[in-house]
């Protein structure tokens, strides 16, 4: 088990830490994405009613789709 852990640590240090793109996609990108999404959607869970204005475009008439759209209104 110790050999597997040493080997994993060796691969981690050599491949991901030395290569900026590897460490970016594993550590920095999720952190940046988390910060952006929490800054945009952070105030939604405060208990206030939040409304979003959306537009729905469809070309073919479908009764199922019309029922779904009328249910959303």
31-39, Cβ contacts within 8 angstroms, sequence gap of 24 or more:
none
Alpha helix positions (H), the chain: 2-11, 20-23, 29-41, 63-72
At residue 50, does pLDDT exceed 70? Answer: no
Output the pLDDT for position 24: 83
- Rounded mean pLDDT of 42-61? 73
Sequence spans of domains, the chain: 1-45
At residue 6, does pLDDT exceed 90? Answer: no
Output the pLDDT for position 64: 83
User: Exposed, middle or buried by CB within 10 Å (0-12, 13-18, 19+), for 23?
Assistant: middle
Going from the C-alpha of 27 to that of each of 19, 30, 42, 64, 70, the distances in angstroms are: 12, 6, 21, 44, 43
């Amino acid at each position: 088990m110790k050999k597997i852990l040493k080997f994993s640590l060796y691969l981690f240090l050599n491949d991901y830490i030395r290569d900026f793109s590897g460490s970016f996609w594993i550590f920095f990108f999720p952190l940046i994405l988390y910060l952006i999404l929490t800054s945009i959607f952070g105030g939604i869970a405060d208990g206030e009613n939040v409304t979003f204005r959306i537009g729905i475009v469809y070309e073919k008439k479908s009764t199922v789709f019309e029922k779904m759209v009328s249910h959303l209104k």
